[in-house]
Amino acid sequence: MTHTKISMAQALNQALRDAMTADESVVMFGEDVGALGGVFRITDGLTAEFGDKRCFDTPLAEAGIVGMAVGMAMNGMRPVVEMQFDAFGYPAFEQVVSHVAKMRNRTRGRVQLPMVIRIPYGGGIGGVEHHSDSSESYFAHTPGLTVVTPATVADAYGLLRRAIEFPDPVVFMEPKKLYWAKEEVDLTESQPGIGTAVVRRDGADATLIAYGPAVPVALEAAEVAAAEGRQLTVVDLRSVVPFDDETVCAAVRRTGRAVVVAEASGFASVSSEIVARVTEKCFHSLAAPVRRVTAFDIPFPPPKLEKYQLPSVDRILDAVDDLQWEDS
């Protein structure tokens, strides 16, 4: 297979197409995913190719969508459902936390739910109110869920394939601001395992720990830092749950300093969990308290103000500068 230049949206589309070809129990449904191909075109062409029993529109009701997926997964299917936008997935919250997450546990493993809930999430696309939330912490906090989020085109393909094959329900968070950027990739080589983080860049001085939409920003910051003489490691979590303590802690121990970068608000979040874990496990390797670059603890702002809310290269570099390189 040769390398082709495609976007994350196209890679996700290809992953769905390949999964539906490989396994006829895979079905895709949600709002506008049929003829339209999804508002982000992730399901483009699937109804035409596989028919409307395999990829279909539903009534506009997210609890119904997720609840129906639970029943279909109970009865031998592998449903993939799309929540059209992050904040529009909240009506399904009870189904996700009380049923999707708990079915295996409450039935002692007798009922498994191999299903994927795809959620386009995050800001950076000029979306109006309720179109830019980072909702991963709600799901990461819920035992029984697996939560993954790709930051590259290749990972988008590989993670979605793994998620659909996974025996347990996966919340698949798609950073929508990364949908359109293209990369040269060979999709057949994309084999990210669920639960494994990856080191995107090696550097001896400090570690940036990021996931999803924050990863490209962290990489850009590392590029600038290198030019200024500081070599930064960048870890891309890919999988929020299960959390890859090993890869994260190895990087932190090697570098002795760390900054967590996330697009979500910081309070009681995935980023605070990462700081807690790193501090608990790597305390004697740390030369400075772990810093965070996150969104403010405010509702996601209107488009004209969102640049103040999103992690930026400058904020990351400032946080790195604050890692007590010298005693004050």
Partner 1 sequence: MTTVEEQLLPSAEPVCLIDQNGVPHDHPSYRLPTKEALLDGYTQLIRGRRFNDQASALVRQGRLAVYPSSFGQEACQLAATMVLRDGDWLFPTYRDSVSIMSRGVDPIETLTLLRGDWHSGYDPYEHKVAPQATPLATQLPHAVGVAHAARLKGEDTVVMALVGDGGTSEGDFHEALNFAAVFQAPVVFFIQNNEYAISVPLSRQSAAPSLAHKGIGYGVPGERADGNDLAGLLAVLGQAVDKARAGEGPQLIEAHTYRVQAHTNADDASRYRQDDEVAPWLDRDPIERLTTYLEQQGWLDDDVRVTAEAGAVEVAAQLRDGLMPEPEVDPADLFAHLYAAETQQLQQQAAFLRDELAREEA
List residues with catalytic annotation. Answer: 131
Task: Measure the CA–CA gap between 8 and 174, rounded to whole angstroms.
Answer: 9
Contacts with partner 1, 205-244, as mask; x by CB under 8 A: ------------------------------------xxx-
> Between 223 and 246, whose beta carbon lies closer to partner 1?
246
57 to each of 73, 82, 197, 294, how far by Cα in Å?
18, 10, 34, 36
The dihedrals phi and psi of 259, each to the nearest 5 degrees, come to -130, 130
Q: Does 77 bind partner 1 (CB under 8 A)?
A: yes
Residues 87-106 binding partner 1 (CB under 8 A) are 91, 94-95, 98-99, 102-106
First to last CA, the chain: 55
Q: Which stretch binds partner 1 (CB under 8 A): 39-47, 109-117, 179-187, 314-322?
A: 109-117
At 213 the three-state DSSP class reads coil
Are 216 and 184 in contact by the 8 Å Cβ rule? The answer is no
Could you say which of 21, 23, 49, 167 contacts partner 1 (CB under 8 A)? 167
- The CA-based angle 283-285-286, given to 5 degrees, is 70
Residues 139-158 binding partner 1 (CB under 8 A) are 143-144, 146
Q: Does 27 bind partner 1 (CB under 8 A)?
A: yes
Q: Does 71 bind partner 1 (CB under 8 A)?
A: yes
Q: Does 193 bind partner 1 (CB under 8 A)?
A: no
Going across the sheet that includes 291-295, the strands are 198-201, 232-236, 206-210, 258-265, 291-295
Q: Which parts of this chain interact with partner 1 (CB under 8 A)?
A: 27, 53, 58-59, 61, 63-64, 66-77, 79, 91, 94-95, 98-99, 102-112, 143-144, 146, 167-168, 195, 241-243, 245-246
